[in-house]
Structure 1
Amino acid sequence: MAKALMIQGTSSGAGKSLLVTALCRIAKNLGFKVAPFKAQNMSLQSFITKNGGEIGLAQALQAMSAGLEPEIHMNPILLKADGNKGSQVIIHGKVYKTLKPKEYYAEKKKLWNKVLESLEYLKKHYELLIVEGAGSPAEINLRDSDIVNMAVAEYLKAPVILVGDIDKGGVFASLYGTIKLVGKSEKLIKGFIINKFRGDVEILKPGIREIEKLCQKPCLGVLPYFEELSLSSEDSLGLSYHKTFSSEKNKLIKIVVLRLKYISNFSDFDPLKYEPDVELLYSLRKEELLSADVVIIPGSKRTVEDLLWLKSLKIDKILKYLAEKGVEIIGLCGGFQMLGKILKDPEKVESDLKEIKGLGLLDIETTFYPKKITTQAEGYCNLKENLKIWGYEIHMGESEGDLNLFTIKRFATKEIKKEGSQKESIWGTYLHGIFENDDFRRFILNKVREKKGLTPLEKSYSYKKLREITFNTLAKLVETHLNMEKIWSLIKL
């Protein structure tokens, strides 16, 4: 049966996900058959497994760091916020219900049993589990309904390491308060880590010595602040960035992603950040859109509401103007649906509107259905001979019409079909992860370069290799700054 180590945080964003990712890579390098686990995740960043199950993207990345194919049991419960409706609850990769908080907590017994089912599966198939908590274990108002923090640690008898984010300020108070508020579970906390420290660690040491005495817990290390590279965050709070690696401004391709209210799976655009000729930003500003070479409408958790919002901001008129000028306009998933002529919703799956006009830039129509399509897919791009592509679909509804962009095979159903649509400088697809395809990404960028009178570039980098470099960089950073011998001794490795 597997041993387990649990990482909890004093707050959301403390660094739990990245630390679990690093520990999975370290354990893998040591020869252990290791798997990540998070009982419940709340995120609009999701991934589809080969079997068609939907899990949190963070757990998928952690699995990749461990050298594994992601599985539904690594994240048995995924919550996707759905505005005033509550949250869409996904259990073992499939949509269960949309529930408001009180309704969700009322189903604790059923949800807990699903968590245990996944834990028992993983314990049988792996030697070591690196378990991630959610938010903070010190939410005393939610203690009785906990299925993700100390309840999991108690069940596994797993030692807990608590991570505090010093970048937010008040790290010693948050560590002390968290430890003292978890009640009888305090005994499971075996040490703490301070994350995102900037400066000379010697200045921190007097505080560390005092908090160790107050809590009777050892500090297991101090991690420096560092860029997350190609590992996407779980929420959209950090999407105001403007990132480029080139100093030759006149040779850049300016890509603007519309910063929708309900933007989802914005990890789709991470591969573009590292292209040497790309300037990438998230914006709705008219000036930015009018100076863009490429405008992308991303996925949305509430497609109709975001479409209405864009129209209220008159961005639909800007997009039509840009289309007439030959600017590349791309729609992914919900953005693809918006580009069509009509969005029909006879069963009111997306909103209270049974029909709404789209942007009218692609010759497609979309009808929403209650059943969610979740599948990986692979195939070819029809715009260039022998250009292979891969991606994954996560959407309610299907589109019909001029589907001419890709020919794909869906893994979940084995069906072969035409997917996506292209018309002049406008195209869209349901395939998330499409820009992870290096050849396709460069093909699209070179089309834009040619419009600008620039020489096409050869493939500049491999996104898959960059992600591997990131996993190894994270692992090295953690090994350098944490007391790994003490950490592994907690689970008697």
Structure 2
Amino acid sequence: MTKALPLMFQGTNSDVGKSVVVTAFCRIFAQDGHKTVPFKSQNMALNSYITVDGKEIGRAQGVQAEAAGIQATTDMNPILLKPNRDNQSQIVVHGKPYKNMEAGAYRREFFQTGLELIQESLSVLSDNYQRIVIEGAGSPAEINLNDREMVNMRVARMAGAPVILIGDIEKGGVFASLVGTLQLMEPEDRDRVIGVIINKFRGDIRLLESGLTWFEEYTGKPVLGVIPYLENLNIDAEDSVILNQYTSVRNTEKELDIAVIQYPKISNFTDVDPFFVEPDCHVRFITRADQLHNPDLVILPGSKNTIEDLLFLRNSGIAQKMAELQKKNKTVIFGICGGYQMLGEKIDDPFAIESLHQEIEGLRLLPIQTSITNDKTTVLSNGSLNLYGKSFNVTGYEIHMGETQATRESRGLIETLGRLDGCKTPDEKIIGTYFHGIFHNDDFRKELLNQIRKTKGLEPIHQRVSFNQLREEAFDRLADHVRGHVKLDDIEQKMKEFQKRGITQ
């Protein structure tokens, strides 16, 4: 495969920053005039992205496509794994559910099918783009998995791609991780590595220089960059491991306290990202009842297993605390997708899609009920949201397996394509919708926050940030940052030399 010029980034382990570095290179190559596309053969994520034709892919590839200035398609991520129970995932193929499979069965039964899907997608992208920026997963040195892996060196061989290995210095032992990963590779795979990047560096680079020299002499691989840690990057995260960095403790210097319920199968948690850049908001992620206290806004985000996460709310005592907040009538409770379903009176799962519980009582805060269905809705949506006596044009996306109906007369939230989405109580304190991305709508978010401020006796803030503008600025900021700390000319040269060598499968 020689039409497009490929480059692959792999990591010494998960969460080394592969997705962010790929995003940066998508922007860099696009800025330099190359028609660029991201690719990840197989992704595992509960934070997904909806393409313009209503298909579901990993959120990182959607964001990377935005950075490259193109529309996302399923060829950029043909296989998506969405864990829904212990040792089981929903397999999404080209944006649509394929089946639920346990890990062992997936490795045994799906391997050849997966390879064919990956090869087909690579061929499509190679025919239509000039650069393919490929992201691996985990580590290429997982000895117990390498015989049937479909996301690291096997993909590099299929694409004819050179590999840059990324190590995260923040985790400690970065040289050991890089050297160990290289030594555990097969010789032909090690030859494919054109160099390494050390990511998330903090401190004085001069203290690292002797280690860089030693590494290059010991391994024969060049250090192609040392990228300093970049603070406050307003680009969507994909892996819920990032939630570990957030606190559950109230920041009293901020006027508005926002508590997000972090249940075990939380999904699409990036719905709350816009609140992080609001100057008066502090966002907390809550896993225990004693952490909730008295927030101004409680958000129940999406869930990959609504019933199991609803049981978590009950067993943890969070559900009881929320009921107490509702009676005080001072806190706004907002549910999105699975969180919206939980706010209703009951959830039915007649086909045991999510759980062995065929019926479970909801939080009974909204007059709705939901039935989990085999059919999955994945669509980009828009409509007119009516709240606080005003109407807002809003956009979002829907990803859900379930149909929700009102149990009695209720107030819909969003008029969209001849139907009503969502529900709200008469006092507009309890609100639910299937629209992911609802808080990314600047005018609505501003009104919601100002209504909360009004309840607290605070003056409104009339000028708030444009989150979408911040995202575009963040792509450029990231690209400039990475461009300034990697040897881009060397990388370009090594990519071209590698392609001339003609290393393929």
What TM-score, normalized to structure 1?
0.95
Q: Indicate yes or no: 2:362 matched with 1:358.
A: yes
- Aligned 8 A contact 1:450 1:456 in 2: yes
1:221 Cα deviation (Å)? 1.1
C-alpha separation in 2, matches of 1:382 and 1:122: 42
Which residue matches 2:170? 167
C-alpha separation in 2, matches of 1:146 and 1:198: 33
Which residue matches 2:484? 480
Tell me, what secondary structure is at the counterpart of 2:127?
helix
Calculate the aligned-residue CA RMSD, in Å: 1.8
Which residue matches 1:144? 147
Name the count of aligned residue pairs. 485
What pairs with 1:33-432 in structure 2 (closer than 5 Å)?
Answer: 33-106=35-108, 107-183=110-186, 184-227=188-231, 229-241=233-245, 249=253, 252-326=255-329, 327-383=331-387, 384-401=389-406, 402=410, 404-409=412-417, 416-423=418-425, 424=427, 425-432=429-436
Question: What are structure 1's unaligned runs of at least 5 residues?
Answer: 410-415
C-alpha separation in 2, matches of 1:65 and 1:243: 29
Amino acid at match of 1:270: D
C-alpha separation in 1, matches of 2:34 and 2:119: 23
1:276 Cα deviation (Å)? 1.0
Amino acid at match of 1:309: F
Task: Spell out, residue by residue over 1:121-147, the C-alpha distance to the aligned partner (whole angstroms, 9 max, x if none).
Answer: 111111110111111111122122121
Q: Which is worse superposed, 400-409 or 57-66?
A: 400-409
Identity of aligned residues (%): 45
1:340 Cα deviation (Å)? 0.3
Amino acid at match of 1:395: H
1:443 Cα deviation (Å)? 1.3
Amino acid at match of 1:295: V
1:208 Cα deviation (Å)? 1.2
1:438 Cα deviation (Å)? 0.6
C-alpha separation in 2, matches of 1:241 and 1:174: 23
Amino acid at match of 2:370: T
Which residue matches 1:461? 465
C-alpha separation in 2, matches of 1:82 and 1:228: 31
- Aligned 8 A contact 2:348 2:358 in 1: yes
1:169 Cα deviation (Å)? 1.0
What pairs with 1:18-37 in structure 2 (closer than 5 Å)?
Answer: 18-37=20-39
- Aligned 8 A contact 2:442 2:465 in 1: yes
- Aligned 8 A contact 2:294 2:325 in 1: no
1:403 Cα deviation (Å)? 5.6
1:288 Cα deviation (Å)? 4.1
- Aligned 8 A contact 1:255 1:280 in 2: yes
Q: Indicate yes or no: 2:22 matched with 1:14.
A: no
What pairs with 1:443-462 in structure 2 (closer than 5 Å)?
Answer: 443-462=447-466
Amino acid at match of 1:405: L
- Aligned 8 A contact 1:403 1:418 in 2: no
Cα gap change, 1:42 to 1:86, in 2 (>3 Å):
same
Amino acid at match of 2:236: S
Which residue matches 2:503? none
C-alpha separation in 2, matches of 1:33 and 1:247: 44
1:290 Cα deviation (Å)? 2.8
- Aligned 8 A contact 1:54 1:94 in 2: yes
- Aligned 8 A contact 2:199 2:229 in 1: yes
Tell me, what secondary structure is at the counterpart of 2:469?
helix
- Aligned 8 A contact 1:241 1:282 in 2: no
Tell me, what secondary structure is at the counterpart of 2:117?
helix
1:83 Cα deviation (Å)? 2.3
